[in-house]
Amino acid sequence: MTLTVVIVTSLALGHFQRAEFDVRVDPRIELLTTVFRLAGAGEYRMQSGESAYSKRVDTYFAKFKDHAAVKAAQRLREEYGVSFDAVPTLAVHLTDAISLGERIPFDMPPPRWDKRWSPDAARAFVNDLKAFVKDTDYAKFLAQEKPYYAKATAGMVDLLKRYPVGKWITDFYGYKPTREPFVIVGLLCGGGNYGMSVRFPDGSLEMSPVFGADDFDKDGVPRFGDGALSTVVHEFSHGYVNTLVDPYADRLKPTVAKYWPRMQSVFAANAYGETNAVLYETFVRAVESHVVEKHMSPPMAFDVLVGQRSTGFLWTSDLSAKLNAYDANRSQYKRFDQFMPTLVHEFERVTHDPETLYARCPKVLAVEPTWGPEEGDTKTVTIKTTFDQPMLRDRRGFSMEPSGWEVVKKTEFAADGKSMQLTLKVKKGTDYIVAINRFGRGVASEAGYPVLPWSGKLRS
């Protein structure tokens, strides 16, 4: 009994002290993501996040899938869009996973609060969570998983021991957060990462980014390779950057609006369906690219940059380059916030004409099907896509709806990189929609710019 109390009343399980950051599995995050997983939230049911642990979660809580807390999560999701980062936002504003107290009164509201949570809705949901904790004996589940939690942080701890990411971040921004930051490994978050932080009434800031586990070893323990370093920079940067963006939000909204007609589907597919989210990501990604380019290998920096552009942020390299002036004049700019007006002005300059940025992206010149043999109610087709410039050979971005087709021969690029083709088996007499980079990510040019989402019809 005493052991259970010690486990569940601490803010974190299985954490290890290290030079720069404490790394934790946080029961508050596990509780909230478990309830939203039971509610069917896709972001907490990613295929990449499925593990022996997620199976144990499903088994233990199976009989509670109709609990009032789960039903409330479904309503909140449907009616108010409570999803993705809104879920861990509530979690980090709670005292612990059992008493579920408010670290800051929800009706203040807390400065780093997600607007999708009204104070009344948050409090009602927390009351349902308290019942869920009691009815499921959540303390027992935490006690059972304590040995696994102790192992689950090891991969991130090892990564952060090998690279001084904390120094990179604080050197760049020019100051440390006023409260000790820590890293959370989100065991049900899959590929989702969230830049969480809590700002207290005294102005102090606690940064606690959540890093999703989406790669596991044979024992089901999360692995974090060097590629996760840029994500560490990214998610910690939200704690520094977001509040600096807020004063410029109204001024910059018309700029973002100019990109909405072409890029809204790309932003929305990456959970950036709201203008402020796009603005936060704009400046965070500029810093991320700049810091990675400064400290990591050129191939890694290029890969990160292609990822930024493929998520809709075509202007990232321009802003990242502008940060060279910040680095070169640190005697003038002691802290990043002092350089923020200059970076905002550069964003306005670069994004003034969307067509100028779109012109950097490769164009689809033709998509040509060549029909092959028929067999029963199926037939084969080789689809060749031609571009106006050489493409990176390791990127893929082809999709087709409806489903029911299969790949006969995987994508191959021509020697000059200007075309790719793949062979499929499709159902006869079917109208398909062929898409290239449907949600932004996928094929990109050798210069590192993505094909803007493209679609066309194909009848078999």
Distance, in Å, from the CA atom of 66 to the CA atom of 74, rounded to the nearest integer, reads 10
Distance, in Å, from the CA atom of 406 to the CA atom of 397, rounded to the nearest integer, reads 16
- What class has domain 364-459? mainly beta
Q: What is the pLDDT of residue 318?
A: 98
Task: Kindly report the length of the chain.
Answer: 460
Going 268 to 270 to 271 to 274, the CA torsion angle's sign is: negative
Torsion of CA 191, 307, 158, 58, to 10 degrees: 0
Least Cα distance to 211 among 230, 225, 233, 191 occurs for 191
Q: What is the pLDDT of residue 20?
A: 81
Q: What is the pLDDT of residue 15?
A: 45
Q: What is the pLDDT of residue 8?
A: 36
Q: What is the pLDDT of residue 5?
A: 32
For residue 196, count CB atoms less than 10 angstroms from its CB and return exposed for 0-12, middle for 13-18, buried for 19 or more.
buried
E-assigned strands of 209-249?
210-212
> Where exactly are the structural domains of the chain?
2-212, 226-358, 364-459
Classified as helix, coil or strand, 42 is helix
Q: What is the pLDDT of residue 311?
A: 95
- List the chain pLDDT tens, one digit each, 460 residues: 333 333 333 344 444 344 489 999 999 999 999 999 999 999 999 999 999 999 999 999 999 999 999 999 999 999 999 999 999 999 999 999 999 999 999 999 888 899 999 999 999 999 999 999 999 999 999 999 999 999 999 999 999 999 999 999 999 999 998 899 999 999 999 999 999 999 999 999 999 999 999 999 999 999 999 999 999 999 999 999 999 999 999 999 999 999 999 999 899 988 898 999 999 999 999 999 999 999 999 999 999 999 999 999 999 999 999 999 999 999 999 999 999 999 999 999 999 999 999 999 999 999 999 999 999 999 999 999 999 999 999 999 999 999 989 999 999 999 999 999 999 999 999 999 999 999 888 999 999 999 999 999 999 9
DSSP code, position 370: E
Going 30 to 35 to 36 to 38, the CA torsion angle's sign is: positive
